[in-house]
C-alpha cells in the first residue's frame, strides 16, 4: 500500500467535497483572485468550507433531542490597508464565486498588470503536518451505539451515589473540511474532526440540590470514549455535586487564592490571553499594548499559545488563513515577548503572522484568536503551595466570567472551591467570585506548581460574536491579594 502525504491527501479531500461537484478547479480559484487584486488591494483570499455536524442529548434516560446538519459555502475577502471587503455565499458555483469576487473588488480597481503578475505567481502548497487523523468522527459509531453510550453514562452516574436525582448527557461530533486559496499563491486544506461528551448531574440531600459537571473531547473519534474515560467524567461530575452539597458561604475580602491545575487556566485565557491578541494591541486598546520586552508578570511565569498539540481541541494543522499553526511564546519568565497575529494585523504591525487567524465559519471574517493557551509548570509541589497559605481560597473550577480588554479587569465565578485554613483544605465553599486585573494578577503570582495540566477538551471562546474551539491549561498557582466576592 502506498502512503499518501498528509497535505496532499487533505487537498484531495477538499477538492472532492468543495470543488469538483460544482465544476470548479484551481484555475477558477486563480481567476477569482485575479478579479479581486489590483492597485490598492494588499491581499485577498478565498475560504471554502464544508461542515457536517451531529448532536445527541439525553435526560432522564430518554434521548430528548437529536440533530444533524450540513453547511457549506465560500467566504471571499479583499484587504486594503486596514480596510476589509468581505462577501460570502452558500452556493459554490463559478457564477456565485465570481459574483462574490466582483463584490469585494470595489475596495480597489483591478489593473491588468496586477492580474498578469498574479497569474505568474507560483502555486505553493502549505507545509506538511498531521496533528490529528483526517477522518469523519460522526461515522466512528453508529446511531444505536451513540445512544447506548449516553445511556451507559447515565447509569454509571446514578449508580455512583443514591443522592444523584437527575442526569443530563450530551454527545456532539463534527466533520469540517476547509480549503484556503490566497493571492500570494498559497493553497492549503485541512480536514478537522471534533468530538465532545458532556455530563451534568444534580444531587439532592434534604431540600438542598447542587450541580456538578464534567466532560471532554478533542480532534479524534467517538470510540475514544471508553469506560475508563466515562468513569473519569462520572467521578468528576458526581464528586463536584456531592462536594457542593457540603459547601458553606464563601468569605469575602482580599485573599490569597490558589488556582488548581487544568481548567482554571480559563482565567488566564480570558484575563490575559485576549489582551495579547494582535488586533487589540495594534489599535492600542489592550492593557499590554506597546509593552514588548517589558516585565508584565512575576518571574517564573511563562505563557504559551500552542496550536500544534496533537489531537487537542484548540489545535489546527493550518489556521483559517492557510498559515501553519505554531507554538508561540507570549510571556517568558515574566517578560512580554509577543502577540498572537493573523495576517492583516501582522502586516500592519510589521511582524510575521503566528498562525492565529481564526473564524467561526466561511460566513465570518478571520481575526487573531487563541488556540491552546497555557502557563508552563514551575518548581513547587501542589501540596506545598496549599500548605503555604494560612487563610485563603482554593478554586478548582470556574463557571462564567468576563473581562474588559482595555483595563484587563475581570470577574469570574468559582463553581468549585475550598476554604484554606492553616495550610489545609477546611471545607468547600459556594458563591466565590474572583475580581481583579489580569496584568496585576500575573505580577502577584508567588508560587507555580509542577503539575501542569491541560483542560479535558471542553473550551469554546467567544469574540465579536464568533465562537471557536480552544484549549486552556496551567499548573497549580498561588496568587496573593486577589479580591474575592463572597456571601459572608
Provide CB contacts within 8 A for 187, sequence distance 6+.
Answer: 11, 26, 29, 123, 124, 125, 126, 179, 180, 181, 322
What's phi and psi for 7, nearest 5 deg?
-65, -45
Domain co-membership, 258 together with 222: no
> How many CA within 13 A on the CB side of residue 265?
34
Q: What does the block give as the cell for 479?
A: 496568587
Domain co-membership, 140 together with 24: yes
Question: What are the residues facing 69 on neighbouring strands?
Answer: 53
Q: What whole-number distance in Å separates Cα of residue 231 and Cα of residue 156?
A: 8
Domain that holds residue 316: 248-485
Domain co-membership, 296 together with 388: yes
Q: What whole-number distance in Å separates Cα of residue 286 and Cα of residue 468?
A: 21
Residue 4: per-residue pLDDT: 59
29-64 confidence digits (pLDDT tens): 999 999 999 888 999 999 999 999 999 999 988 888
Q: What per-residue string of b and e applies to 324-352 under the rule 16 or more CB within 10 Å gives b? A: bbbebbbbeebbbbbbbbbbbbbbbeeee
Residue 118: per-residue pLDDT: 42
Cβ atoms of 457 and 198 closer than 8 Å: no
Q: What Rg do the C-alpha atoms of the chain give, in angstroms?
A: 24
Domain co-membership, 197 together with 109: yes
Q: What whole-number distance in Å separates Cα of residue 142 and Cα of residue 145?
A: 5
* Closest to 370 (Cα-Cα) out of 474, 268, 476: 268
Q: What whole-number distance in Å separates Cα of residue 488 and Cα of residue 483?
A: 14
- CATH code for the domain of 81: 3.30.2290.10
pTM over 0.95: no
In the chain (488 residues long), the average pLDDT of successive 10-residue segments reads: 73 96 96 91 96 95 91 96 95 96 75 40 70 94 95 96 97 98 95 98 96 96 96 97 95 95 92 93 94 96 98 98 97 97 97 97 98 98 98 91 81 93 96 91 96 96 95 97 82
Residue indicated by cell numbers 466582483: 102
CA torsion angle 309 315 319 322 (round to 10) = 60
Q: What whole-number distance in Å separates Cα of residue 170 and Cα of residue 182?
A: 38
Q: How open is the CA angle 335-339-340, to the nearest 5 degrees?
A: 140
Domain co-membership, 309 together with 447: yes
Residue 333: per-residue pLDDT: 98
Number of domains forming the structure of the chain: 2
Pairing of strands 164-182, 43-59: antiparallel
Domain co-membership, 225 together with 316: no
Cβ atoms of 134 and 10 closer than 8 Å: yes
Q: How open is the CA angle 466-468-473, to the nearest 5 degrees?
A: 130
Last residue of a domain, one of 228, 246, 264: 246
Q: What whole-number distance in Å separates Cα of residue 306 and Cα of residue 316?
A: 10
Cβ atoms of 299 and 443 closer than 8 Å: no
* HEC string for the chain: CCCCCHHHHHHHHHHHHHHHHHCCCHHHHHHHHHHHCCCCCCEEEEEEEEEEEEEEEEECCEEEEEEEEEEEEEEEEEEECCEEEEEEECCCCHHHHHHHHHHHHHHCCCCHHHHHHHHHCCCEECCCCCCCCCCCHHHHCCHHHHHHHHHHHHHHHHHHCCCEEEEEEEEEEEEEEEEEEECCCEEEEEEEEEEEEEEEEEEEECCEEEEEEEEEEECCCHHHCCHHHHHHHHHHHHHHHHHHHCCEECCCEEEEEEECCCCCHHHHHHHHHHHHEHHHHHCCCCCCCCCCCCECCCCCCCEEEECCCCCCCCCCCECCCCCECCEEEEEECCEECCCECCHHHHHHHCCCCCCCEECCCCCCCCEECCCEEEECCCCECHHHHHHCCCEEEEEEEEEEEEECCCCCEEEEEEEEEEEEECCEEEEEEECCEEEEEHHHHHHCEEEEECCCEECCCCEEEEECCEEEEEEEEECCEEEEEEEEECCC
CA 160 vs CA 73, 244, 272: distances in Å: 46, 16, 38
Residue 405: per-residue pLDDT: 81
Domain co-membership, 279 together with 379: yes
Q: What does the block give as the cell for 214?
A: 464534567
Q: What whole-number distance in Å separates Cα of residue 386 and Cα of residue 392?
A: 9
Domain co-membership, 112 together with 222: yes
Residue indicated by cell numbers 487564592: 257
355-402 confidence digits (pLDDT tens): 999 999 999 999 999 999 999 999 999 999 999 999 999 999 988 677
Residue 58: per-residue pLDDT: 95
Domain co-membership, 147 together with 17: yes
Domain co-membership, 242 together with 252: no
Cβ atoms of 375 and 475 closer than 8 Å: yes
Domain co-membership, 238 together with 97: yes
Last residue of a domain, one of 246, 276, 294: 246
Q: What does the block give as the cell for 452?
A: 501542569
Residue 121: per-residue pLDDT: 56
Domain co-membership, 241 together with 302: no
* Closest to 106 (Cα-Cα) out of 178, 44, 58, 170: 44
Last residue of a domain, one of 214, 246, 278: 246
Amino acid at each position: 500500500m502506498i502512503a499518501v502525504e498528509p497535505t496532499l491527501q487533505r487537498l484531495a479531500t477538499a477538492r472532492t467535497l468543495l470543488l469538483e461537484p460544482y465544476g470548479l478547479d484551481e484555475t477558477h480559484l486563480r481567476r477569482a483572485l485575479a478579479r479581486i487584486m489590483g492597485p490598492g488591494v494588499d491581499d485577498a483570499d478565498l475560504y471554502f468550507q464544508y461542515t457536517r455536524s451531529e448532536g445527541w442529548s439525553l435526560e432522564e434516560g430518554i434521548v430528548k433531542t437529536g440533530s444533524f446538519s450540513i453547511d457549506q459555502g465560500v467566504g471571499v475577502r479583499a484587504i486594503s490597508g486596514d480596510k476589509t471587503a468581505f462577501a460570502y455565499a452558500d452556493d459554490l458555483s463559478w457564477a456565485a464565486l465570481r459574483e462574490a469576487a466582483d463584490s469585494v473588488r470595489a475596495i480597489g480597481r483591478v489593473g491588468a498588470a496586477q492580474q498578469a503578475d498574479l497569474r505568474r505567481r507560483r502555486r505553493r502548497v502549505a507545509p506538511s503536518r498531521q496533528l490529528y487523523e483526517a477522518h469523519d468522527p460522526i461515522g466512528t459509531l453508529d446511531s444505536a451505539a451513540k445512544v447506548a453510550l449516553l445511556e451507559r453514562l447515565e447509569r454509571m452516574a446514578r449508580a455512583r451515589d443514591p443522592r444523584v436525582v437527575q442526569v443530563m448527557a450530551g454527545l456532539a461530533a463534527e466533520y469540517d473540511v476547509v480549503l484556503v486559496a490566497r493571492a500570494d499563491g498559497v493553497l492549503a486544506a485541512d480536514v478537522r474532526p471534533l468530538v465532545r461528551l458532556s455530563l451534568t448531574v444534580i444531587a439532592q440531600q434534604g431540600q438542598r440540590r447542587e450541580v456538578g459537571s464534567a466532560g471532554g473531547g478533542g480532534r479524534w473519534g467517538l470510540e475514544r470514549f471508553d469506560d475508563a474515560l466515562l468513569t473519569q467524567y462520572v467521578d468528576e461530575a458526581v464528586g463536584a455535586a456531592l462536594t457542593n452539597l457540603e459547601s458553606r458561604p464563601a468569605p469575602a475580602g482580599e485573599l490569597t487564592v490558589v488556582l488548581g491545575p487544568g481548567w482554571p487556566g480559563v482565567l488566564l485565557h480570558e484575563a490575559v490571553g485576549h489582551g495579547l491578541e494582535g488586533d487589540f494591541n495594534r489599535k492600542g486598546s489592550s492593557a499590554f499594548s506597546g509593552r514588548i520586552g517589558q516585565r508584565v508578570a512575576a518571574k517564573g511565569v511563562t505563557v504559551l499559545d500552542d496550536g500544534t498539540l496533537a489531537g487537542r481541541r484548540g489545535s489546527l494543522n493550518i489556521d483559517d488563513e492557510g498559515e501553519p499553526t505554531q507554538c508561540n511564546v507570549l510571556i517568558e519568565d515574566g517578560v512580554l515577548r509577543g502577540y498572537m497575529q493573523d495576517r492583516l494585523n501582522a502586516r500592519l504591525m510589521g511582524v510575521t503572522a503566528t498562525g492565529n487567524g481564526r473564524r467561526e465559519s466561511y460566513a465570518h471574517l478571520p481575526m487573531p484568536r487563541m488556540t491552546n493557551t497555557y502557563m508552563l509548570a514551575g518548581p513547587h509541589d501542589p501540596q506545598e503551595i496549599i500548605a503555604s497559605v494560612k487563610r485563603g481560597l482554593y478554586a478548582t473550577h470556574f463557571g462564567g466570567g468576563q473581562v474588559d480588554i482595555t483595563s484587563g479587569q475581570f470577574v469570574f465565578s468559582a463553581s468549585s472551591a475550598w476554604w484554606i485554613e492553616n495550610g489545609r483544605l477546611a471545607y468547600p465553599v459556594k458563591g466565590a467570585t474572583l475580581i481583579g486585573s489580569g496584568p496585576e494578577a500575573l505580577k502577584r503570582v508567588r508560587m507555580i506548581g509542577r503539575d501542569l495540566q491541560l483542560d479535558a477538551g471542553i473550551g469554546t471562546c467567544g469574540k465579536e460574536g464568533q465562537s471557536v474551539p480552544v484549549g486552556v491549561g496551567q499548573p497549580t498557582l498561588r496568587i496573593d491579594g486577589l479580591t474575592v466576592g463572597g456571601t459572608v
